[in-house]
Structures are given as C-alpha cells and as structure tokens.
Structure 1
Amino acid sequence: MVPAPPQTQALLLKGGTLYTAADGVLINTDLLIEHGKIVAMGKQLAANNAEVIDVSGKHIYPGLIALNTQIGLNEISMVRSTVDSGEIGSFNPEISSATAFNADSEIIPTVRANGITHAHIVPAGNGLVGQSVLVNLDAWTIDDAKVAATGQHLVWPAIDAPAATQEEREKQATELNEQISDIHKNFAASFHYYQAAKAGALAQKQQSYDAMQPLFERRASLFVHADKLNSIESAAALARQYGLKLIIVGGYDAWRAADILNEINASVIYTHMLSMPLRHDDPIDLPYRIPSLLAAANLPFAIGFSGDWDTRNLPFAAAQAISHGLSSELSLQAITVNAAIMLGQQDMGVLAPGYRANLVISKGDIFDPKQHGVEALFIDGRLVDLNNRHKQLYQKYLNR
C-alpha cells in the first residue's frame, strides 16, 4: 500500500448523497475538489478538465477522526519490542507520541478501511504522560503524516477498586493523595517557570517546564483522562486555577459535572460507547446513553474509541449512541467536526467549500456494519489505497 501522491487534477463527484456534518444531508448533489480542498457543492456542477466520478446512490461523509488512540505506537500488543506507547516516570511533558509514530504500521490500512482518515495519537502511562499529535493515515513518515501537535495528557490518579481491608484502603488513600499532590507540585513549578520566562528572568532552561508553556499560553489543550466525578471536578479546579483549556478524556461521569465543565468552557472525549457500566448499580445501558446526556447538558463532546487495531470500530461506537437517543447528525459530528475542533483544526470534519477534502464514499450507511461498505477514501484530495492485510489474507485463504 503506497501512499497516494498530492492531487494534481480536479475531481468532480456527481450525484451523491452528502452527509455534511454541518448543513444536514444533501441528496443528489455534486462535489468538486481541487488542490486538496472542497471548492464547490451543488446541483449540476461542471469543471473544465476535471475527472468525473459518478457516485449516484452512494453515501459521502467527512473523513472520520479517531480520538485517543495508540495507532502507530502499538503493533503487536504481546510482543514488547513492537509496543512504544509510553515512558517511565510520572512527569514527561517533553515526550511526544510523534517521536515513536510508525507511519508504516500494518494496522493503519485496516483502520482506514472503515472510513477513518485521521487519528489522534496519544501516549500512555501514569501522571503527565506527554504530548499527542494529530496525523493523517496515509503517509510515508511522521513528517508527511503530522497535521498538528494537540496538547498534553494527564492521567488523573484514581482508586479503581477499594482494597479488602481497612489497612489496605488507608494505604490506597495515602498513595492517591501523594499522586495528586505531585500533580499540583509539578503544575505549580511549571507555572512559576512560565512566569519567570515571561518576565525574562530565567536562570536556566529546563526541558520539561519548557514543554508546559503552551498550556499556560492556551496554545495547547490539557487532556485529562478521568471518569469518576471527583476526578473530573479536581481536573476542572486545576484548569480553572491556571486558566487552561481542558478536555476530559473518558468522561463517564462528565454529564454529572456539566455545570462545572461548561463554566470553564471544557469539552469531553467520551470513550465508553461499547463498554459495560462503570458501577455495578448503574443501568446496563447507561454507557450508551451518556452521549445523549452530554448533548442535553449542552456540553461539547466527541466520541473516541481508545485502542489501536480496534479503533476501526469507531463508526459502530457512534452507531450505539444513535440507538440510545443521540441523533444521526450529532453522532456524525461527534466523530468528525467536533473532534477536529477539539484538536484545533477549523478546516476539517465538514463537507463544505473551503474545507479539506477528507471524505469517505460508502455504498450504504456508514454507521451500519451490514451496509456501510467503504468504497473510496480521500485525504486532502488524494485517493487512498484501501487494500490491507485483512483483505490480502481473506483472498489468500479464499483461494486455498
């Protein structure tokens, strides 16, 4: 699978059903692409010297954006030498997932086959684990793939399950308090460094603190991985203290903290669409209804599907939200334009003139695993090869 070259000829898609993610659904509508951008949409468009493709009866969507993934960092999870998703230590703001991203991963083409054009590559670990990067999924190297650095990731400490004895529970609480205290100490030191740098009073440069400056300048977001209400509230208090742009990742209880999060203009990447309930007394369908609860609370959100190879299930995770109260339009926005905006991209995730020509052509509803059938995928107007290892193995054993 060779990455596609830049678009050199105008492309006119005729007569498709366009799911714009901004202006509803446009039936029997043409779409014109030039120089990697959408330049026109409408009825009976014409363009000199354009390649014309009849897409009558086909469904056209913006390219899907996979959030909170380790695509290109993990290849075979059981083979340690192919896993490069994190570093040791609990304060690594200078670490970037771009350093380890493998644009030649065999997983990438299998993910593209379900309509995913871009991925948000996130480091793993505990504490402040480092910087994420947005990449396109058809590239030779990270230099070709990288769209933008997106922010720092903080995994908020939490007690997953209380210990069996009082003594062990007290030990858990002590360790948790120490971890939270370390977070506040690191942020305080980083902020003092930022203030000194701003005043021109730095005695010596420090790489880790340097990497934190974009947070305080609001040029980057702080992604806090947290699910429980108390953790989300603590993250919101930290963001308020330093005036940070906050994005909650996970967000199981985010709808319960909507007032607090809306007050500081925070947003949520919800990642539990195909999960079981977090608590034994939660309704069995609560994880699937949470996107509709976030929408009802007017809390900006996107849907992510954490992982690497299994990220290809992203459209079906969004489909679960549709079947539990979220509209198709909002579900599409949750994996396209909302994701793009959270990552600082204002020209992605929508079918409209002026936006990047990242789009998917499907023979049916992209949310339906029985119908969707992705037939073509474009990244910046480049027609991407949809061959992949899964298809190769299917053909190999079909002809055995």
Structure 2
Amino acid sequence: MRHFFLPLALLAATVNAHDMVPAGQQAEAILFTHATVHTVSDGVKENTNVLIEKGRIKAIGEQLQAEHARVIDATGKHLYPGIIALDTQVGMVEISMVRPTVDISDVGLNNAELRAQSAFNPDSEIIPTLRRNGITHAQIVPQGELLAGQSALVNLDSWTVEDALVQTPMSLHLYWPELGSLPSKPDDKAKALEQHQKALDDIANLFAKAHDFVGQKAANPSLSHRRFEAMQPLFSGQARLFVHLNNSRAIGEALPLVRKYQLKAVIVGGYDAWRHADAIKEAGVAVVYPSVLSLPQHQDDNIDEAFVVPSRLAKAGIEFAIAYSGDWDARNLPFAAGYAAANGLGKEAALKAITLDAAKIAGVNDMGAIKEGFRANLVLASGDILDPVSARIQQVFIDGREIDLKTRADQLYQKYLKR
C-alpha cells in the first residue's frame, strides 16, 4: 500500500493488462422496451420500458417513447441494476502467487492514511470477468493488522483510477483480533489469552490517542500527525469504520468501542451478528456478510449454517449486504446471493442485498436500483442473474455506457478455434 510498492504494481499492470477499450460517455439516449424490470426499489415490472439519458435513468413506464433514441428490444429479457461487490481486492491483485502483483497491505498497526485506490489497476485482467457476471462496481479494501487503511468504490470500466472512483464517505477498515479455540494446556491457554488482551489493548490505546489528538489539534491547529489526522473524521461522524470480525466474542468486544466514540460502523463478516441483533441495531451498525459459500464456523453448526445467515439477519431486522471477499473469486457474488435466496432469504431480498443495500452501505444513494434519477448502471440478461447457468448476460451499462463484455477466456477461445 505504500508508495514504494507502486513501481512493482505498475510493472505488473503493464504485463497483466486487458485490451478492452473503456466506453466513452453516453452520447445518445437509449430506450429499453418490453423488459421485465427488476427495479429492486419498487418490485418487478413486466413488459416495461426504461429510458436512460446522459448516464441517468430518465423514465420508467409501459408506453415510453423517445425520438432519436437507440432502441433495444428487451422482449423476454430481464433488466437488472448493476451489482456492487463489497469487500474485494479487485485490481489490487493480479496473480496471488506472484508478489509484485499483490498490493493489498502494509506493515504496522495503524495505516489509516493509506488509500486502496493508490494500488488499483483499472487494466486488471480480472476486471472483465466480474463485468461478465453483471458486476459494475467494486469496493476495493486494504488488508492488514488492526487499522489497515481506507477503501474506495470504483466502477469497473475506466482508463484511470480517477475515472473509476465513485464519491463516497471516507471508510476505514479495522481488522479485529478474534480469539479462536483455546489450547488445552494451561500455560498455552494463558499465553493465548494474554496475547489477545494485548491486541485489544493496542486497539483501545490507538483510538484513545487518536481521540486525544483531535481535541489537542482543535486547541492547537499547528499540531501534525498524519495517521491520527486520517482518523479524525471517524470521531466527527464524517467517516465510517468497517470492522472485520465474525464470532460472538469479537462482536461483544467491538461494540463498546463503537458506542464509546459514537462511531458510524459496519461489521464485515458478521457470521454471529444475528445473535446480537438488539445490540447491533441499537448501535446503528450494518453488516456486510461475505461468507454465504463458506463452511460452518462452529463445531455444532448445521452444514447449511453459512447459507442461512442472510435470512437470519433479515428476520432480525439488521441492515445488511451480501459480499464475496477476494479478487478474481468476487465474480461469484451473484451465485452466493442465489444460494442465500434459496435458503430462506428469497430472490428479491437477495438481489437487493447485492445492489441497493450494498450501495447504501458503501455510502452512495443513487445506485443499486432502477429508479428515476439513479445512475444508469444496468444489466440485460435472458435469465436469472442469480443463477450463473441460466443468467446469460447480454449487455452491461455503467453510467449509460455500454461495456465490452469480452474476457481473456473469450480471446483464448477464439485463438484456439483457429489452430
């Protein structure tokens, strides 16, 4: 994440760069006709037209007309909002086993000033594979020990990082130290508990010092500390803290910190979050759940436990989104949402969890739904977007721009057809 990694990242970007040309700004109005429109915000509308102009959704209705608009006949097809992938390292990793192409973390317990976008490669070969599955945007997240840095929301079709960025509130990411199964030997158990307590003390001291610095700087503006200054928006409510944790013990440890400093917080992981529904809702905390396709995390869990967590979050009234952590494997996000839908959540709620709810948690209020005034991030498919077998995605639009859906796999397929 530091600048001394950038030359290696740039070298990797040169070697591993796709040749799909980013689309230009939307030049003409586009009218989709006779589509099954999955608005997310207002149910499913059959045989409906959608007009987009200048990168925005202009109108939705059954009898829409627009002179000089490009008409796309969507009879028998489904129109969805673009999917938003939270908690990814897309564009920050190219080949996980090749160190110069991995730029996701830095050393140290407090890297609050580091920004994920400084390591984002918009030409990554991985990006087209996500677009092919209907994913138009990704939250790119740094990893590390304790406070790892700031994430960013990017669109997945751009020439540069600046073109890719979507304006969102500052988001910092804290990796909470979770205490797993304790050793059976008393000495080893005591050592594990001591190490865990030290990690908790490190977090408490970090936030206490940063909070004290904010007060001191208010009285003496000349004070300077780049890492504490980067944390300052947390204490004023202008930034959000994404806390990465899963188990009940960690949730019980983290919520007092959130309450003490009145932080705007999001839990990333949250496998046991539904067990703490009242405390989580009282603290105003949302959950990003990335583990639908994971194994059960507790010995006495049912085999399908990870699949049903989203439905339990929904029943508990917790604000949540579904994610799929990683880089290339983030393309499986629609499939994960489909599993959640089939295990108690339902299709409409599952689609909402990877579109509108994901946008809200990312801090954007005009994405994730097919609604007048929203950004024209759209996916046209002949089938169910939550089913990778039947989806058959045909066209993808980001801010009204039609995106090239070719991938490296397509190029290799065409190459070897000619052998």
Equivalent residue number for residue 12 of structure 2: none
> Are 1:253 and 2:308 an aligned pair?
no
Which of the residues 202, 214, 223 maps onto 1:182? Answer: 202
User: CA contact under 8 A between 2:289 and 2:323: conserved in structure 1?
Assistant: yes
Runs of 4+ in 1 over 3 A off after TM superposition: 397-400
> Are 1:320 and 2:339 an aligned pair?
yes
Equivalent residue number for residue 195 of structure 1: 215
Equivalent residue number for residue 63 of structure 2: 44
Distance 1:164 1:235 in 2: 26
Equivalent residue number for residue 30 of structure 1: 49
Equivalent residue number for residue 378 of structure 2: 359
User: CA contact under 8 A between 1:233 and 1:260: conserved in structure 2?
Assistant: no
| Match runs of 1:214-229 below 5 Å | 214-229=233-248
Deviation at 1:332, TM superposition (A): 0.6
User: CA contact under 8 A between 1:236 and 1:246: conserved in structure 2?
Assistant: no
Which of the residues 378, 389, 397 maps onto 2:408? Answer: 389
Distance 1:253 1:259 in 2: 13
Equivalent residue letter for 1:363: S
Which of the residues 81, 84, 87 maps onto 1:68? Answer: 87
Distance 1:35 1:185 in 2: 49
Deviation at 1:160, TM superposition (A): 3.3
Equivalent residue number for residue 373 of structure 1: 392
Deviation at 1:395, TM superposition (A): 2.6
Which of the residues 8, 18, 21 maps onto 2:37? Answer: 18
Distance 1:174 1:398 in 2: 61
Which shows bigger deviation, 216-225 or 28-37?
216-225
Deviation at 1:162, TM superposition (A): 2.7
Extract unaligned runs of 5+ from structure 1.
none
Distance 1:138 1:196 in 2: 43
Q: SS in structure 1 opposite 2:220?
A: coil
Equivalent residue number for residue 296 of structure 1: 315
> Are 1:132 and 2:143 an aligned pair?
no
Q: SS in structure 1 opposite 2:120?
A: coil
> 1:304-332 CA distances to partner (integer Å, 9 max, x unpaired)?
00000000000000001011100111101
> 1:104-163 CA distances to partner (integer Å, 9 max, x unpaired)?
101001111000000000001111001000000001111000103540000000133433
Deviation at 1:196, TM superposition (A): 2.5
RMSD value over aligned CA atoms? 1.1
> Are 1:167 and 2:183 an aligned pair?
no
Equivalent residue letter for 1:2: V
Q: SS in structure 2 opposite 1:91?
A: coil
Taking structure 2 as the reference length, the TM-score comes to: 0.93
Q: SS in structure 2 opposite 1:324?
A: helix
User: CA contact under 8 A between 1:193 and 1:202: conserved in structure 2?
Assistant: no
Deviation at 1:203, TM superposition (A): 4.8
Equivalent residue number for residue 55 of structure 1: 74
Deviation at 1:170, TM superposition (A): 1.5
Q: SS in structure 2 opposite 1:313?
A: helix
Distance 2:167 2:87 in 1: 15
Q: SS in structure 2 opposite 1:102?
A: coil
User: CA contact under 8 A between 2:179 and 2:250: conserved in structure 1?
Assistant: no
Distance 1:252 1:209 in 2: 31
